[in-house]
Structure 1
Amino acid sequence: MYTHGDVRTIASPRSRGLFRALATAALAALVGLIGIQAAKAADMVVYKTPTCGCCDKWIEHMEQAGFTVDARDLQNLNPIKAQLGIAGKLQSCHTATVGGYVVEGHVPADVVQRLLDEQPAIHGIAVPGMPMGSPGMEGPYTERYNVLAIGRDGRVEIYERR
């Protein structure tokens, strides 16, 4: 029995059940929204140095393509590159992880999306160095470059030509 001023109400078992069902549904919806936001909070983690402007431009490129990015500034990227298995000849100025893959350097967003859509059995993809005209390295001219597939065994082959 509930009392509100001079009015007394007796909640029936049916109305209490309805209230519980609505409360449970509302809680489930809230948890679902929080879960979705948590999943979207870090589609991609990017390791970069704090002063690299082209890394910031590449992150903007990825965000404009719909990725959510957690940028982590490090003074020395060598330990993370070693931990993630990026050989010296494949290295660039930043390293990212997304969907269980490693993405090294100025890889275009559409190629990263292709990687995620196709889910090949590889370790990741890389654009070694910093080719002019690649995302984040826009300038007065565009160089041709390759996006390389890094095999789980360390072998490298061309994934896409740009």
Structure 2
Amino acid sequence: MKTKKLALFTGVTVTILAAGATTLAIQADESAKSSTAAASTAEAGPAITIYKSPSCGCCQSWVEHLEANGFKTNTIETDNVNEVKQANGVPRDVASCHTALIGDLVIEGHVPASDILAYRENPRFNTVGLSVPGMVQGSPGMETGRKDDYQVIAFRANGQQSVFREHKDY
């Protein structure tokens, strides 16, 4: 009789332990899913709106560079990018082929995603925006095989400019 009671007790204990383990596994899985969702949201980069010509391939390549670096992009194709530049205070001497807005910051041209993030984390300049003037070979979106040195320029509303970063010696 004791053997049957022990076997029954052991069977009930095993069932309870298995049910408890299953509950813990489900809770752990839900917790992991919540953590993953929170991490994905936290890792999602900032939202950026890009104004570009519908026919510009290098602009689209820059958008893809931003997306690959976690930015949430909204692309607006327009035949009048210059109007966007003027409305956002982009000086002619720092102009490029597309203009983007990330909050109050204007991003002009092929600025690397890492520079945008670095600037936003530690804004050392009181500026309107950042720019890679022109269309520099080797900058993000302009990967054609040739790599030129270039600077990322911080520009102010009063026209003053400073070098934010230099990209040399690939």
* TM-score, normalised by the number of residues in structure 1: 0.73
Q: 1-side partners of 2:120 and 2:46: how far apart?
A: 15
- Whole-angstrom CA distance in 2 between matches of 1:41 and 1:149: 21
Q: Which has the larger radius of gyration?
A: 2
1:134 equivalent to 2:106? Answer no
Runs (5+) with no aligned partner, structure 2: 1-36
Identity of aligned residues (%): 36
| Larger helix proportion of the pair | 2
The answer (yes or no) to whether the contact 2:50–2:73 under 8 Å persists in 1 is yes
Q: Paired residues, what number?
A: 125
Deviations 1:13-56 (A, max 9, x none): xxxxxxxxxxxxxxxxxxxx9xxx8xx79710000000000000
- SS of the equivalent of 2:86 reads helix
Tell me what 1:119 maps to.
Answer: 123
Structure 1, unmatched stretches of 5+, are: 1-32
d(CA) in 2 for partners of 1:118, 1:77: 29
Write the letter of the residue equivalent to 1:101.
Answer: L
CA RMSD of aligned residues (A): 1.8
Q: C-alpha distance in 1, partners of 2:141/2:62? A: 4
- Regions of 4+ moved over 3 Å: none
1:41·1:70 contact (CA, 8 Å) conserved in 2? Answer: no
**CA shift for structure 1 position 88:** 1.1
Correspondence 1:71-110 to 2 at 5 A: 71-110=75-114
Question: Which of 66-75 and 117-126 deviates more?
Answer: 117-126
Which TM-score applies when normalising by structure 2? Answer: 0.69
The separation in 2 between residues aligned to 1:45 and 1:63, in whole angstroms, is: 12
Contact 2:53–2:81, Cα closer than 8 Å, also in 1: yes
